[in-house]
Amino acid sequence: MTHIKVNVDGTPYEDEVEPRLLLAHYLRDRLGLTGTPIGCDTSNCGACTVELDGTTVKSCSVLAVQADGSTVTTVQGLAKDGEWTALQHAFHERHGLQCGYCTPGMIMAARDLLRENPHPTSDEVREALEGNLCRCTGYQNIVRAVLAAAGQQDGPGRQDASGRQVGEEVTA
């Protein structure tokens, strides 16, 4: 067992953990912070994305012992006094989710993008989210939500013959 100290969503914790314990399992099973889901075993899906000392990581690809001494922010630490962040509001308003499984990872990854690039194009949003898989939405509304959170106009988009929304015209 190895002794670790971590600060998660503003709360300090100290624990004895097995070295093989993944950060994702530590958050979920030890701390009960199940807002961070685990979607795959291959580092592909990004559902478990959290912030570790200020940058995004896939918490299934970090050992809890590697987070010793660090600060972790999960999706559960974003809202302040029950008030959602602009990004969370945007996902809600733009319907940026269907089943919701990928949403915590999407929001954490989008947050990382907006910190580095506050006014991304829709292509830049797509690139920034390449490590996060969504199997429901086809990504269109996720991209719209991130652009909306960045304060960009949500354009009308094009419609195909049947009136369905197509294309990428969501940039300002």
Chain residues in the site for other proteins (CB under 8 A): 2, 18-20, 22, 25, 41-44, 46, 49, 55-58, 60-63, 65-66, 109, 112-113, 128, 130-132
Q: Which is nearer to other proteins, 71 or 153 (CB)?
A: 71
Write down the residue that tokens 């969503």 correspond to.
Answer: 9
Smallest gap from residue 57 Cβ to other proteins (A):
5
Smallest gap from residue 17 Cβ to other proteins (A):
10
Q: Which is nearer to other proteins, 103 or 132 (CB)?
A: 132
Cα 121 to its chain centre, rounded Å, is 18
Smallest gap from residue 79 Cβ to other proteins (A):
22
Q: How many Cα atoms are found within 13 Å in the side-chain-facing hemisphere of 156?
A: 4
Residue 77 tokens read as: 């630490």
Smallest gap from residue 126 Cβ to other proteins (A):
8
Q: Round to whole Å and give the CA distance between 22 and 18.
A: 9
Give per-residue burial for 48-58: e unless 16+ CB within 10 Å, then b. bbbbbeeebbb
Q: Which amino acid is at 112?
A: D
Residue 118 tokens read as: 């506050």
Q: Which is nearer to other proteins, 58 or 144 (CB)?
A: 58
Q: Which is nearer to other proteins, 93 or 126 (CB)?
A: 126
